[in-house]
Structure 1
Amino acid sequence: MSCEHLICARCSGPVVEGRCPTCRAARAEVHDHGPSVPPSVVLIALVLAFALAFALALQHLS
């Protein structure tokens, strides 16, 4: 959802401009995507997954 076309009921301005506290709160709510995972955590998880897969493959071969 985008706030580009939303009009604030309090100040009658575009929400995207954030003219009043209500606009700013609505804009923050629309654009809040929750906590994101840092790229370093994703990289560590991928490395661990590949290491586990490699260890399992070596165990299967021997």
Structure 2
Amino acid sequence: MSCEHLICAACAGPVVEGRCPVCREGRAKLHHHGFMGLPPVLIAVAVLLAIALVALSHISGY
């Protein structure tokens, strides 16, 4: 999702310009990044991959 077409209710300006504190906060929420600047989806995929590798190593170890 992007903030290009969003209009701020506080200042009636485009959110992407960040004219007021409400715009800047909304823009920051839309462009929030997770741990170490990585998107939360990428972190979730990495965790799931690690779990799958651990499970696979347990299965092949028996």
Confirm or deny a common fold (TM above 0.5).
Answer: yes
Q: CA deviation at 1:36?
A: 3.1
Return the TM-score normalized by structure 1: 0.56
What RMSD in Å do the two structures reach over aligned CA positions? 1.8
Structure 1 segments unaligned to the other structure (5+ residues)? 39-62
1:6-33 C-alpha deviation (Å, 9 max, x unpaired): 0000000000000000000000000012
Q: Could you list the structure 1 runs, at least 4 aligned residues long, displaced by more than 3 angstroms after superposition.
A: none
Match of residue 32 from structure 2: 32
Match of residue 16 from structure 2: 16
Supply the distance in 2 between the matched residues of 1:19 and 1:37 (Cα, whole angstroms).
25
Tell me the SS of whatever aligns to 1:22.
helix
Q: CA deviation at 1:35?
A: 1.5
Return the TM-score normalized by structure 2: 0.56
Supply the distance in 1 between the matched residues of 2:37 and 2:20 (Cα, whole angstroms).
31
Which amino acid is 1:26 matched to?
A: G
Return the index of the structure with the highest Cα Rg.
1
Q: Relative to 1, partners in 2 of residues 1:6 and 1:37: Cα closer, same or farther, differing over 3 Å?
A: closer
Task: Give the paired residue count.
Answer: 38
Which amino acid is 1:27 matched to?
A: R
